[in-house]
Amino acid sequence: METVKDNTARTFMELMRVPVQFYRTIGEDIYAHRSTNPLKSLLFKIYLYAGFINFNLLVIGELVFFYNSIQDFETIRLAIAVAPCIGFSLVADFKQAAMIRGKKTLIMLLDDLEDMHPKTLARQKEYKLANFEKTMKRVINIFTFLCLAYTTTFSFYPAIKASVKFNFLGYDTFDRNFGFLIWFPFNATKNNLIYWIVYWD
């Protein structure tokens, strides 16, 4: 992370750098309307919509799994387990839909927020911007660490362990169950390629 310089006024985009990058990791460029690189904007958009479609295919898989599991008393616990995942997935869908529907409003709010940002060093000191930024960086660092720790323990370690066993230790199938309860119309652990494609969804 950058250190806050006491003798230089911080711009709004410097303050927003990390949140903007976080959104770009899912293909959402909240400042796409200012982009001077149409190819980069197009690639972000393709990445966003491809991920959105892929995500919703998994949601359909969860719904099918839920429906199949709720039919039998023996598997009803699995239906109960997958229900919150479906709920969170639908919330994510609604959030994405709201961002698309309210794109003009979002742009206007971001522009207004930038206009409100104190431009001079004197005003920034008056509003104690350095203290605010220092606090926010701590929050962002903690949030980033927790996200990466979750991703590592939930995805990287089990997937790598399963791949090593499959490729080097002679296991016939991956011993790692998928992180989410999803119905697949094929054998998702049949080979290495299929496993990794569906695993990283």
Domain boundaries, the chain: 10-117
Q: What is the pLDDT of residues 151-167, one digit of tens each?
A: 777 767 777 887 888 88
Is pLDDT above 60 for 86? yes
* Residue 92 tokens, joined: 């994510």
Average pLDDT value for the chain: 83
> pLDDT tens-digit profile of 19-78?
888 888 888 888 888 888 989 989 999 999 988 898 898 899 999 999 999 988 888 998
The pLDDT assigned to 1 comes to 45
User: In which residue are the tokens 């006491």 written?
Assistant: 6
Using a cut of 0.75, tell me whether the model's pTM lies above it.
no
Determine the pLDDT at residue 100. 85
Residue scoring higher pLDDT (175 or 5): 175
Residue 105: the pLDDT is 93
Instruction: Retrieve residue 148's tokens.
Output: 């990466």
Cβ-contact 159, 30 below 8 angstroms? no
SS3 of the chain: CCCCCCCCCCCHHHHHHHHHHHHHCCCCCCCHHHCCCHHHHHHHHHHHHHHHHHHHHHHHHHHHHHHHHHCCHHHHHHHHHHHHHHHHHHHHHHHHHHHHHCHHHHHHHHHHHHHHCCCCHHHHHHCCHHHHHHHHHHHHHHHHHHHHHHHHHHHHHHHHHHHHHHHHCCCCCCCCCCCCCCCCCCCCCCCHHHHHHHHCC
Mean pLDDT along residues 108-115 = 91
pLDDT band at 177 (very low <50, low <70, confident <90, very high): low
Percent of the chain predicted with pLDDT > 90: 18
pLDDT of the residue at 200 = 58
pLDDT of res. 69: 92
Could you write out the three-class secondary structure of 50-78?
A: HHHHHHHHHHHHHHHHHHHHHCCHHHHHH
Sign of CA dihedral 110, 115, 117, 121: positive
Confidence class for position 112, pLDDT limits 50, 70, 90? very high
